[in-house]
Amino acid sequence: MGNQEKGKGLMEPENSAEKLTALVVDDDKLVRMIHQGLLKRAGVKNEAVKNGKEAVDIHYSGQRFDIILMDNEMPIMTGIEATKKLRSMGILSRIIGVSSCTEAEKQEFMKAGIDDYQVKPLTIGVLNSILDVVKASK
C-alpha cells in the first residue's frame, strides 16, 4: 500500500510539485463546471464526482489528490460523512469544505476533518490562496 505522507515522494511519479491534482465533489453540475474551469485555468489536473460516496469510491480505487473541494449537501453521502470516511481511510489530502451552510453545519464540517472552509462559489483569488498553501506544504 502506498504511503500518504505529505512532502514525501508521492505514488504517481509524474506528480511533481508543479502539477497539483484536485477532486471536485458536488452534486450540482453547474458548480462542478465552474470549479473545474477554475482548476483548469490554474493548471491543476482535476476530476469531478457528484456525491460523497463517489468521492470515497474513487479513493478506494487507488486514486489520490492533493486537494479535494468538498460540497456538503449531496445525496447518498454528504460531504461531512465523506470527509469522516476519507480521514478514517488515512487520506491526508487537503480537504476544503465548499458550501453555503449554516455556522452549525460549518462546525460539524470542521470536526469531520476538513482543513479549511470556503463559501460557494469559489473565486480565482480564493483558489489561488488554497493552491499556495498546498504548494508550500509539498
The residue (of 75 and 90) whose beta carbon lies closer to other proteins is: 75
Looking at the Cβ atoms of 113 and 121, the one nearer to other proteins is 121
Map grid coordinates 454528504 to a residue.
Answer: 78
Contact set with other proteins (CB under 8 A):
28-31, 33-34, 37-38, 40-41, 100, 120-121, 123-124
Minimum Å distance from CB 28 to other proteins? 6
| 3-state SS, residue 122 | coil
Q: How far is the CB of 100 from other proteins (least distance, A)?
A: 6
Q: Please name the residue that has the C-alpha cell 463546471.
A: 33
Q: C-beta of 101: minimal distance to other proteins in Å?
A: 10
**How is the beta sheet containing 94-99 ordered, strand by strand?**
45-49, 21-25, 67-70, 94-99, 116-119
Q: Cβ closer to other proteins: 6 or 40?
A: 40
| Residue 87 near residue 75 (C-beta atoms within 8 A) | no
- Least separation in angstroms between CB 73 and other proteins: 8
* CA–CA gap between residue 134 and residue 87 (Å, rounded): 17
